[in-house]
Amino acid sequence: MPTLIVGSGSQYTTIQAAINAASDGDIIEVQAGTYAEQLTIDKQLTIRGPNSEKTGNASDRIGEAVVTFPAGITVTAPSLITVNVSGVTIEGLELRSNDYLINKFPYLIETNKVNNLTVRNNHMYGGEVGIYVLTSNDKTVNRSGLLIEGNYIDGGPYVNSKFNRGIYVQSTAGTIQNNTVINTNIGIQYLPYANPVGGTIRGNTVSAGSIGLYHNYQDKGAAPVTWENNVVSVAQNDRAGLKSQVFDPWTTPVIFRGIELITFGDQGSGNAPQVTFTNNSVNADISGTGYNSTVSEGLRFSNPYGNGQAIFNGNTLTGWTVRAVNNQVNQTSRDFSFSFITGFTDDVAPVTGTNATNGSSTNDTTPTINITAEVNSTVEIFNGNTKLGNATATGAGTYTFTPTDLSPGTYNFTARATNAAGNVSVNSGVFTLTVDTAAPSAPIITGFTDDVVPVTGVITAGGSSTNDPTPILNITAEAGSTVEVFRNGVSLGNAIATGAGTYTFTPPTLNPGAYSITARSTDGAGNISANSTAFSLTVDTGVAAPTIFSRTGSDNAPVLTISAEANSTVEVFRNGVSLGNATDITEGGTTYTITSSVLTDGNYSFTARATDRAGNVSVDSAPFNLSVDTTPPSAPIIVSAADNVDPIQSSFLVDGNITNDTTPSISISAEPGAIVEVFINGVSAGNAIATGPGTYTFTPAVPLTQGNYTFTARATDAAGNFSASLSNDFRLTIDAVASTPVITAITDNEAPFTGNVANNGITNDTTPTINITAEANSTVEVFNGPTRLGNATATAPGIYTFTPVTALSPGSYAFTARSTDVAGNISSNSTPFNLTIDTNAVQITFNAIVDDTGNSASDFLTNATSMLLQGRATPGATITVTVNGIAQTTTVTSGNT
């Protein structure tokens, strides 16, 4: 069903333009604003203002869509809205007549011969007639489907116009209900003619200057018409200002009539018509100032009056100067008498006093029946067709009747008056009264209605919680009872009947806490029931925010764990979007979980919101932030190591270096924020420490022993992803002990004797070569005693030689060697290698021959063929003796002989 929008900046700026563009069945929504235009509706449309769901006098109506006459109208009887077709709805507007049209007889809504017209929830001001529904006085044209409902019609100055009506309806059947009509000459006028479909006029509030409820021209053959539960009062009219300028104003006093019945049943053909007036209230009081009436009548039967049946039940007429008038001036031969049962008086506790309500109950078996009739009449009282007796006059036009004891049951009382002239009235309307002496059953509190979001609706379970501090209690009890409600034993007041045997009660605001609610009913007869079964109810208007305190599961499908009020509904949001409700781990517990759907890499903020059983909604929890990262970090890089132990310290040892630092510091580059695990020879040794964005150091917690080590590292990022591979291998040799060198020999390079000289040997070489074995790549220092001579030179891995740069003086030497390996370890000195340097020539003397035979033992002449030469030489020298070219050698072993 298309909707056309009218308003400033909208699709249409005038209502008539939207009507012209619309098709049957469309809705035209009129936004707040003022529209100075006359409307002609010739399509089946709904014209809807902003207040279509609020009665015309509702205090909470919002900005109005005001439709008013345009300036400059000169014609008489202009219409603001003219309806020419059936099936039209006009609702939620404000309709106004301009003051300059005060004498032009303007109509606000005018129709002619239409069906299914709905006029509802409009606010109307001014106008000769507010709602004017016509059939052009054509009694052969009958229409139906009328609904005039919830309108507020203020005649304003037109209260002083003889032609003013709030609502005027000709031969169009339907319902006129719950309207407020004030400041009118005639409030509601209904002319059914011979319409075979009945009409109902009910629940309206009318303030009129001349006639409140005006029923005329109900012809023979017409369907019954009902006027019920209407409230009528007299409108004030000082006739000043604009009131004096209206079309055909009143200038003389008028007689006010609360209800007038005229031209009834004297025309047409068919069955006599019937009209029923039930439970209407007329206050005809004109005792104050500002009224233009000197006489007020509660009820008038005017001319001509045919044979129709007018039934009056339970109506209240107060404030009148004349209660009822039969003014059949055109039928002087037809006399008139009347009677009304106005109520009864109950003298039996707990409910006593006068009751005017038809259909009531009483526990008084001898109730006093109260009747109004013409003065000096004889008034008979009947139950059905059975006469009970005659009433007793108690005043001018008032009578009472007290029956003998009545058994429990229902009685249909009527009254019939015979006036002093002998005229007999028709029976009054039936006044039904039930005599009931039995206590009703205890009420049942069936639940309550919660009107406070988010959990609303009817809740039937006792012991429930609600965040509605004024929950509506739902009660079943005997129909027509007065149901009293108690909270913790204290009366709160009476429930309101919502149907036959159903009641509701809204308590005063309840503070948070537990309550026990009971109900007790008093039936219409005054009998009191036992208390109902207690209904337990807890009012809870607050709930604490949940707490998301942990997560488990895979990073991209985390399981969140939440703490919240027991029995809550915990809704979880991811980046503001609902994931659904968490699950209570244990029924009635306070721990909830929810598993997220699989997440892509990115940052996520999870919050939770709790709704407790009472419907209270907490604020959102503190965010639980989660970064999903399924991409492994790059492998770390071991960059270098630092040696912090003397004598050789280095901040940049590289792969393959040797160090004497048993706790070297390893420098690593890895993804910022990662956990970097370090492995030594494949075994985890702990985690490195971040020293800056992407830089880490690791120092072994336990000193490393001598040996070769391979360091590797693996990164785990903040999301728990391991690097795809380990870092590069970084090899270090831990060498904290230096080996002691060994002087293996000293080489004599000086003739005549060259080669190795044994320990404690002698050489004439003042720059002998000292041969040493030591740890490869060491620095080997050579000493003579404590005196350092210099560093040896490596000739091969682990082989070193040292040749003094400066010739050594003759003498004794104790050579030692000390090595410093590449790790900086310094060995102890080697075992001394003793050497004597002797550069003096060997002195040889022969002293004797053994045996020197012959004449002299010292003449070196002998006849011995073998002999021993004796002489002196340098100790340790090797003596070579050549005899006839054959050399023999010996070594001086002791002393110098």
Per-residue pLDDT at 361 exceeds 90: no
Q: Domain 547-628 carries which CATH code? A: 2.60.40.10
134 pairs with which residues across the strands? 112
Among the residue ranges 44-53, 108-117, 252-261, 542-551, the one predicted with the least confidence is 542-551
Per-residue pLDDT at 677 exceeds 90: yes
What is the three-class DSSP state of 242?
Answer: helix
pLDDT, position 642: 92
Per-residue pLDDT at 504 exceeds 80: yes
Per-residue pLDDT at 524 exceeds 80: no
Whether the bond into 106 is cis, omega within 30 of 0? no
Contact 160, 129 (CB under 8 A): no
738/8: higher pLDDT = 8
| Average pLDDT score over the chain | 87
Could you name the CATH architecture of 742-837?
Sandwich (2.60)
pTM: 0.46
Could you name the CATH architecture of 345-435?
Sandwich (2.60)
Percent of the chain with pLDDT over 90: 53
What confidence tier does 251 reach under pLDDT thresholds 50, 70, 90?
confident
What confidence tier does 425 reach under pLDDT thresholds 50, 70, 90?
low
Nearest-angstrom CA–CA distance, 584 and 619: 19
Nearest-angstrom CA–CA distance, 431 and 342: 8
What is the three-class DSSP state of 183?
Answer: strand
Per-residue pLDDT at 25 exceeds 60: yes
According to CATH, the superfamily of the domain at 444-539 is: Immunoglobulins (2.60.40.10)
Name the burial class of residue 598, with classes exposed (0-12), middle (13-18) and buried (19+) by CB atoms within 10 angstroms of its CB. exposed
**Which fold is adopted by the domain 637-734?**
Immunoglobulin-like (2.60.40)
Per-residue pLDDT at 541 exceeds 90: no
**Structural tokens at position 891:** 């070594």
Q: How far from 739 is each of 646, 735, 825, CA to CA, in Å?
A: 17, 10, 9
Contact 482, 522 (CB under 8 A): yes
pLDDT, tens digit, 9 for 90 and up, residues 135-183:
877 778 899 999 999 999 999 999 989 999 999 999 999 999 999 999 9
Per-residue pLDDT at 613 exceeds 50: yes
Nearest-angstrom CA–CA distance, 363 and 183: 43
Domain ranges of the chain: 126-327, 345-435, 444-539, 547-628, 637-734, 742-837, 845-891
pLDDT, tens digit, 9 for 90 and up, residues 185-206:
999 999 999 999 999 999 999 9
What confidence tier does 317 reach under pLDDT thresholds 50, 70, 90?
confident
pLDDT, tens digit, 9 for 90 and up, residues 772-829:
999 888 899 999 999 999 999 999 999 999 999 999 999 999 999 999 887 788 888 9
Per-residue pLDDT at 330 exceeds 50: no
Other C-beta atoms lying within 10 Å of the C-beta of residue 502: 16
Contact 311, 338 (CB under 8 A): no
Among the residue ranges 128-132, 273-277, 445-449, 844-848, the one predicted with the least confidence is 844-848
pLDDT, position 883: 73
pLDDT, tens digit, 9 for 90 and up, residues 686-730:
999 999 999 999 999 999 998 999 999 999 987 788 998 999 999
pLDDT, position 332: 27
Which residue, chain included where needed, has tokens 């971040």? Answer: 690
Per-residue pLDDT at 304 exceeds 60: no
pLDDT, position 336: 40
Q: Is it true that 547-628 and 742-837 share their CATH fold?
A: yes
pLDDT, position 475: 95
pLDDT, position 329: 30
